Chains A and B, each alone.
Chain A
Amino acid sequence: MTIYSIIFYILALLILVSTGLAITRRNLVHAVIYLVFSFFGSALLFYLFGAPLLAVLEVIIYAGAIMILFLFIIMMVKVETSEERMFPLNQWLPAAVIGLLYLAIGALLVSSAPGKDIPLEMALTHPKEFGQYLFQRHWLSIEIVSLLLLIALIGALHLGRRKREEKIEEKP
C-alpha cells in the first residue's frame, strides 16, 4: 500500500461522506455547500489521476460556476424547506428496489470484469499536450460544444425575457 493509495481511499471517503450529507440535507444552502466539498474532493482525485488541467476546470466550472449559480437561484426565490417530507414512502420503495438491483448487478460486473486488478500507474498529462491533443484531434467536437453553449445562452435569455413580457401583459 503506497502513499497514493492511502490518498485515494481518504479522498473517496471524503467524497462519499460529503455527497451523502448533501443529498440528505433539508436546507438547500447546506446541501450546495456540502456538494462544493464533494467537487473539491473530485478535483483532487483528478489531480491524483494525472489530469491537472481537468482538476482546475472542475474547481472553476463545477465548484465555482455551477454551484454559485445554484446558490443564486436558492437565494433569489423563497424556498419552503420545512414542508418537504424527507423521503416519502411511495418514492422511497421503488428507489430502494432499483438501487439494490443496480448495486447487485454493478458489484457482480465489477468483480467479474477482466482487468479489474490491473493497478493504475502514476502518470501526468501536461496541460500543453492535452490542449494540443484536444484542439488537433477534436476541433469539430469543440465547435459543436461551443454551439451548444451558445444555444444554452440564448435559451436562458429567452426564458428570462418571456416571463417579464407576460407579467407586463397581466398587469393592466
Chain B
Amino acid sequence: MIVPFGHVLILAGILFLMGMFCAVTRRNLIMIVLGIEIMLNAASIVFIGAALRWHHLEGQVFVVFILAVAATEVSVGLALIVYAYLRTGSFDPGTYNLLK
C-alpha cells in the first residue's frame, strides 16, 4: 500500500490553493498564467490518484486531455500577453484601462 486516498486529496488541495493564491494576488500576467498551470497540475494529481483508487484507466485518460488543454492555453495566453505588452508596455493588468 502507498497512502490513504485522503492524503492525495489534501496534497492536491494545498497545491490548488497555492495556484489560486498565485493567480489572485500577483500583479503580473506571467505569474497569473503560472498560477493557472499549478492549478491544472493539482487537478491531474487528483485524477491519477483516483485512477489508482478505483483501478480504472479513465482518470489517466483525462490527464492526457488536461495536458493538451494546458498546452493550448499557454500558447494562446502567452501570445496574448506579448501582444498586450507590445501595445501597452506593461505586464500589470491594472494598467490595461484603455479601450483603444
Contact = CB atoms under 8 A, between A and B. Distances in A.
A117 B14 contact: no
Nearest to B13: A106
A69 B7 contact: no
Contacts of A168: none
Interface string A17-61: 001101100001001100100110010011011110010011001
A106 to B, nearest CB: 5
A148 B76 CA distance: 11
Given A23-B31, A49-B48, A69 B41 contact: no
Interface in B1-31: 1-11, 13-15, 17-22, 24-28, 30-31
Contacts of A113: 6, 9
A10 B68 CA distance: 28
For the residues of B in contact with A, the DSSP-based class is: helix
Contacts of B60: 51, 54, 125, 130
A130 B9 CA distance: 24
B44 A5 contact: no
Interface residues of A, number: 86
A44 to B, nearest CB: 12
Interface in B65-100: 65, 67-72, 74-76, 78-83, 85-87, 90-92
Contact of B41 (A42, A148, A152, A155): A42
Contacts of A15: 11, 15
26 contacts: A2-B2, A5-B3, A8-B2, A9-B3, A20-B18, A23-B22, A49-B2, A51-B51, A54-B63, A66-B71, A66-B74, A70-B33, A70-B34, A74-B30, A84-B28, A85-B27, A102-B17, A110-B9, A115-B5, A119-B3, A120-B5, A121-B55, A134-B64, A145-B65, A153-B75, A155-B76
Interface of B: 1-11, 13-15, 17-22, 24-28, 30-31, 33-35, 37-38, 41, 44-45, 48-49, 51-53, 55, 57, 60-61, 63-65, 67-72, 74-76, 78-83, 85-87, 90-92
